[in-house]
A and B are shown apart, each in its own frame.
Chain A
């Protein structure tokens, strides 16, 4: 269990506030996602939880071990994967793994069952130097190294940044299987679409959690009326929608435009307005928001 209370952290003698009072808890065996853009404070938070940074104030306890006082104990029970690839590029896949196993006083054999799923995919390249691996494989190796000592809590700082959608999906599948083994997983990401893979999420911005709930709960709390508009000439359509007074916000979402509208507006009214502007073939429908819609709604306030 992770318990965090009122964490504050600033840099450059108080000039930059990275964390502005963060409080949350994570249950055993839960996947908890911290979601927000770069610079929101995700890495600072995770580094404090990994006992690598001291908070200015506040408490963080990892499975009953305080990250400031019992930092040695904390370092034994966590597996930490920093934001950028942090293995030895000039050592082979196997050498990296063996090294990290020894560092934690264990061996590959002892915990092989834990990493088997992941490691098997890169095992054919075990004699290749880590620096020569592709992005997705590096990620798998880094995860194997973070897991090799059977950590109680896994802390993954933006593991999927810069990774293509397919490898990202695979990565989340792996996390799902680790959760089944009872490992508590704390993970951060800038990709909003990954929220649904977490049990609970927190949306972070400017060092503060602006919402924290299950992905479903976040979506249910969405207060606006959200429609999707589909059509051709998207750029022109977007500006036409922005000119319409009953449309509060409008943003492109892939091949559609998501708009929030004032209460009482009928689909027909909007369709008519657009038809006047020579948008004849539009499809308009009320939709359920995505986590990304929620994030944008919460940050526009």
Chain B
């Protein structure tokens, strides 16, 4: 049973879902006079997909980088961050997927999926019976995940031999391998062609069902297909506005409701930079 393989015995975090709330978020780059984000209040519910939409430069990527613990020395951030359950730091509970697949070109597909096992807690070095067992289990797990994203036959190829869509599927498997309760996605499908993007949205939706997902996108259709709730980041400095909460099950088929929602989003964002 593949599902047995995927229930991770060593990590207590995996099965609990985590919700995140940010209140009064404020972010300013040191080289700019104006703050990028101000009065930011966002609640990200556990086990649901939250889409954050906004135009380029509205600070949505900065927000995601903050959640991933990747803000560097060049920014000033203040604000309250609460996670529930408060069992560990947020940055230890997130997996990150970027617009580029970020597959290491020197590692095989399988080793790319296994990348996270080299670092952090799970990377206990040294040879012991326990470690060899663990390594074998992890490898099996990775192969199962590759099967789930339909790339079992490509496990030993190098990333450069794969197409863009396949590479992003490997990245998805790598994210799943990390088995973190929160998945942060920064426009992960935007570089793909329409059909591949559509398929990957479905796949991600199925495989990340129980996770708390934050998806940054500038594509209203994508938000409609996947989101349980949609935030708009707009204004200057940007604030977050909860546009809508969608209750139906995902992935949705784009229909009249979707078209209306897309129109609403467009109207809201259209004059954003003229303010």
Report whether chain A binds chain B.
Answer: no
Measured CB to CB, the residues of B under 8 A from A are: none
